[in-house]
Amino acid sequence: MEQERIGAEEFPTWRVTLPNRPLTGLTVLVVEDSRIASEAVRLLCLRSGARIRRADSIRAALRHLQTYLPGVVIVDMGLPDGDGADMIATIARAIPRVPVVLGISGDPGNRDAALRAGADGFLAKPIESLALFQQAILAAMPPAARPQGLRALPDDVIAPDAAALRDDLAHVADVLAQAEDTDAIDYIARFLAGVARSAHDRMLEDAATSLAHGHAQGRALATDLARISGLVQDRLAATRVS
């Protein structure tokens, strides 16, 4: 039986907030292991008036949800300790249900999996548009909780700083240095593809995609891993210089 969503009375009173901060009063939990992606969400939340908390794994997210009920949970589809779709399904079945659950991924093909698991919407990386971010959340709210009347859409675009990208690249380098099993290789491919898309780095994204395809087809991965390792080290050196 489908769980009843929390009603409008559980939401803050949007109608008395500033029009350019339509998410004032909301707490957003972002479940995301990428620093550059979570930093983008943090900046978007700040510009929208929402509070943000971050969990970098399913285990950490479940600890958060044991102590409070956020208004919005945004779940990455590929997490280090499990499948984001499973996390979404767990949240969607919980009572009381989180009012708004969104999936997020650098692979738009994950939209259907997120929605099938019970997500109310989906965000594709890179998440940069303030208007698209706000609309994704507002559209997923119960109708009675949405702000009334017409609202001017902001044309702001956010860009996380280089430190977040550097942290993600360093994480990939660390995992690469220890990668021995197929699970680690699959994680590198998914994680790096999302990071590369957020950074608009097509060469790095193509290398990560090639690794993922090779892994899925059982192809020898030494060449792909060596290429990715070189690209990551080059970009780490560039971010240190900048």
Q: What is the pLDDT of residue 35?
A: 95
Do 211 and 181 lie in one domain? The reply is yes
* Cis ω for the linkage preceding 99 (within 30 of 0): no
Which domain range does residue 204 map to? 162-239
Question: Is 123 in the same domain as 174?
Answer: no
Query: Does 141 share its domain with 41?
Result: yes
Residue 222 is predicted with a pLDDT of 77
Assigned domain for 9 exists: no
Rounded alpha-carbon distances, angstroms, from residue 108 to 55, 122, 165: 22, 9, 21
Asked if 36 and 109 sit in the same domain, the reply is: yes
Q: What SS3 class is residue 123?
A: strand
Whether residues 53 and 105 fall in one domain: yes
Q: Do residues 67 and 130 both lie within one domain?
A: yes
Of residues 172, 209, 212, 186, the one with CA closest to residue 82: 186
Instruction: For residue 20, tell me if it sits in a domain.
Output: no
Mark whether 90 and 200 lie in a shared domain. Answer: no
pLDDT (0 to 100) of residue 163: 92
Q: Within a 13 Å sphere around the CA of 99, how many CA atoms are in the beta-carbon half?
A: 25
Q: How many CB atoms within 10 Å of residue 46?
A: 13
Any domain includes 94:
yes
The predicted structure's pLDDT at residue 9: 43
Compute the distance between CA of residue 99 and CA of residue 85 in angstroms, rounded to an integer: 17
Residue 7 lies in a domain: no
pLDDT of residue 162: 87
- Asked if residue 204 is part of any domain, the answer here is yes
Asked whether residue 40 is assigned to any structural domain, the reply reads yes
Do β-strands 27-31 and 100-105 pair in parallel, antiparallel, or remain unpaired? unpaired
Pseudo-torsion of CA 181, 186, 189, 191, nearest 10°?
-110
What is the enclosing helix (H) or strand (E) of 125?
A: none
Contacts of range 49-52, beta carbons closer than 8 Å, 24 or more positions apart:
49/17, 49/18, 49/21, 49/22, 49/23, 49/24, 49/25, 50/23, 50/24, 50/25, 50/26, 51/26, 51/27, 52/27, 52/28
138 and 168 housed in the same domain? no
CA 83 to chain centroid, in Å, comes to 13
Same domain, 98 and 42: yes
Mutual orientation of helices 182-198 and 35-48 as an angle, nearest 10°?
Answer: 40
Residue 171, domain member (yes or no): yes
Number of domains composing the chain: 2
Q: What pLDDT tens digit does each residue of the chain (242 aa) get? A: 344 444 444 555 444 355 678 888 899 999 999 999 999 999 999 999 999 999 999 999 999 999 999 999 999 999 999 999 999 999 999 988 999 999 999 899 999 999 999 999 999 999 999 999 999 999 998 877 776 655 666 778 888 888 999 999 999 999 888 766 667 788 888 899 999 999 999 999 999 988 888 766 666 567 888 889 999 999 999 877 55
Residues 94 and 196 in one domain: no
Does residue 32 lie in a domain region? yes
Whole-structure pTM value: 0.86
Of 102, 141, 101, 135, give the one whose Cα is nearest residue 12: 141
Kindly state whether residues 54 and 116 are assigned to the same domain: yes
